């Protein structure tokens, strides 16, 4: 195996270990696209498809942008695999604004995943210098209301994976480029009477089809993108002058089917993927006092065939004026889990709060 191939293998293995969905993403490329960008959703068991109530909806469900107004900026950062002292980190940024002429909310975002530094060597073991591996994506999103209670949203993104620099071995062999889109819908009724209960402004239902696009190619191998179908439900149990209590759940399925013969193409994999893998689930709770202090908790699980991950999540947040600061912490059930003790921090600046 050449140094380039070793570097690619190491970097890709590191990222698979880092991604929240590394169990299911094992058959796909660029699993960093599945990492939860905001600490709020991370603290609630990695959920957000139905909540999607700020600009972080770009990741969870772009339809949530249709309910937004004003201008927002979101930033997040997380050092990955801290217990291994690995040179891995994840950073995320989004800017969004309501555009009256488009009758919707438009956002642009960037995700950057640093995979660390590697030593390049020749076949006989001589050092030839170091190189860094990384992956990133650039996206543009749009969300709008299509009825009084339903919004739709779409995201288009450019994806680049730089596992090894061009010129090592075969030119460009460690670099992959692709594109993808997300399509989501969100139902948040203003008035809804169900079995004598007024559920208006309390219930939210969401669905999002993520990362639909052509395969990523490295060397002579092509790997599918982590195309995922997410569904979610959120319900506000309490809402009064001082207290807000919300429960939410997400269910997601990786729509990738891969075996020794290769992987099924889109859209065939939308059907064949249901026969393997499994469905991962996240459940979360958020309590907010006086719209200032938030406490959160959650639980994430998936079947053994999909990776058998299981962990609890905790977090908190503070809102002051137009700023919201959040953090989350992963509490793993099993020992020596690669995500154990992972802290995530995120910030949201929402100018709409001043109105």
Mean per-residue pLDDT of the chain: 85
State the average pLDDT over residues 254-273. 82
Distance CA 313, CA 143 (A): 29
Ramachandran angles phi, psi of 272, nearest 5°? -70, -25
- pLDDT at position 90: 93
Q: Kindly report the pTM of this predicted structure.
A: 0.87
12-16, 155-159, 180-184, 286-290: range with lowest mean pLDDT: 12-16
- pLDDT at position 83: 66
- pLDDT at position 306: 66
Does the bond joining 318 to the residue before it have cis omega, within 30 degrees of 0?
no
The alpha helices in 220-335, defined as continuous H runs, are 269-272
- pLDDT at position 261: 67
Kindly report, residue by residue over 202-231, the tens digit of the pLDDT: 899 999 999 999 998 877 678 899 999 999
Ramachandran angles phi, psi of 307, nearest 5°? 135, -20
Residue pair 18/338 in contact (Cβ under 8 Å)? The answer is: yes
Q: What is the dihedral of CA 197, 200, 204, 205, to 10 degrees?
A: 70
- Token output for 227: 């195309």
State the average pLDDT over residues 196-201. 72
* Residue 263 vs residue 242, higher pLDDT: 242
- Token output for 49: 């498809």
Kindly report, residue by residue over 17-59, the tens digit of the pLDDT: 444 443 444 468 898 999 999 999 999 999 999 999 999 999 9
DSSP classification of residue 116: E
Distance CA 299, CA 282 (A): 6
pLDDT of 305 higher than 80:
no
Please choose, from the candidates 63, 39, 37, the residue with its C-alpha nearest in 3D space to the C-alpha of residue 49.
63
State the average pLDDT over residues 275-303. 92
List, as one string, the DSSP characters of 37-90. Answer: --HHHHHTTS--TTT--STTHHHH-GGGGGG--SEEEEEEEEEESGGGT-SEEE
- pLDDT at position 6: 45
- pLDDT at position 324: 97
pLDDT of 275 higher than 90:
no
- pLDDT at position 13: 45
The alpha helices in 51-126, defined as continuous H runs, are 57-60
Backbone region of residue 46 per phi and psi (left: phi > 0; alpha: psi in -120 to 50; beta: other values)? left
Residue pair 137/108 in contact (Cβ under 8 Å)? The answer is: no
The band of 355, judged by pLDDT with boundaries at 50, 70 and 90, is low
- pLDDT at position 22: 39
Q: Is 4 helix (H, G, I), strand (E, B) or coil?
A: helix
Give me the domains of the chain, ranges plus CATH numbers. Answer: 3-354 (2.40.160.40)
pLDDT of 248 higher than 70:
yes
Q: Is 56 helix (H, G, I), strand (E, B) or coil?
A: coil
- pLDDT at position 73: 98
Kindly report, residue by residue over 85-140, the tens digit of the pLDDT: 667 889 999 999 999 999 999 999 999 999 887 777 667 777 777 778 899 999 99
* Residue 198 vs residue 327, higher pLDDT: 327
Query: Terminus-to-terminus CA distance in the chain, angstroms?
Result: 60
Please choose, from the candidates 75, 57, 79, the residue with its C-alpha nearest in 3D space to the C-alpha of residue 66.
57
State the average pLDDT over residues 176-201. 86
Q: Is 317 helix (H, G, I), strand (E, B) or coil?
A: strand
pLDDT of 172 higher than 60:
no
Ramachandran angles phi, psi of 196, nearest 5°? 80, 0
Please choose, from the candidates 328, 234, 302, the residue with its C-alpha nearest in 3D space to the C-alpha of residue 38.
328
């Amino acid at each position: 195996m050449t140094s380039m191939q070793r570097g690619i293998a190491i970097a890709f293995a590191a990222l698979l270990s880092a991604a929240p969905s590394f169990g299911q993403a094992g058959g796909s490329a660029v699993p960093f696209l599945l990492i939860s960008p905001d600490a709020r959703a991370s603290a609630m068991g990695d959920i957000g498809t139905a909540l999607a109530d700020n600009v972080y909806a770009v990741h969870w469900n772009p339809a949530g942008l249709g309910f937004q107004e004003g201008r927002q900026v979101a930033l997040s950062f997380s050092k990955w695999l801290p217990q291994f002292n690995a040179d891995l980190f994840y950073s995320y940024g989004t800017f969004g604004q309501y555009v009256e002429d488009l009758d919707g909310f438009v956002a642009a975002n960037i995700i950057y995943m640093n995979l660390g530094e590697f030593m390049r060597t020749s076949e006989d073991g001589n050092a030839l210098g170091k190189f860094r591996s990384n992956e990133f994506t650039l996206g543009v999103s749009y969300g709008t209301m299509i009825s009084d209670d339903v919004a739709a949203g779409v995201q288009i993104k450019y994806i680049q994976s730089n596992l090894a620099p061009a010129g090592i071995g075969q030119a460009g062999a460690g670099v992959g480029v692709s594109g993808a889109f997300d399509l989501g819908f969100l139902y948040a009724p203003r008035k809804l009477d169900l079995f004598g209960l007024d559920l208006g402004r309390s219930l939210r239902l969401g669905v999002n089809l993520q990362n639909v696009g052509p395969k990523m190619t490295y060397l002579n191998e092509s790997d599918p993108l982590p195309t995922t179908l997410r569904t979610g439900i959120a319900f506000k149990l309490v809402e009064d002058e001082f207290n807000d209590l919300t429960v939410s759940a997400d269910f997601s399925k990786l729509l990738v089917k891969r075996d020794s013969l290769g992987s099924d193409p889109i859209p065939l994999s939308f059907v064949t993927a249901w026969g393997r893998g499994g469905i991962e689930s996240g459940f979360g709770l958020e309590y907010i006092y006086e719209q200032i202090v938030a406490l959160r908790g959650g639980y994430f699980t998936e079947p053994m065939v999909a990776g058998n991950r299981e962990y609890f999540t905790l977090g908190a947040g503070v809102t002051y004026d137009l700023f919201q600061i959040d953090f989350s912490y992963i509490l793993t059930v099993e020992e020596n889990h690669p995500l154990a003790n992972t802290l995530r921090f995120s910030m949201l600046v929402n100018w709409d709060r001043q109105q």
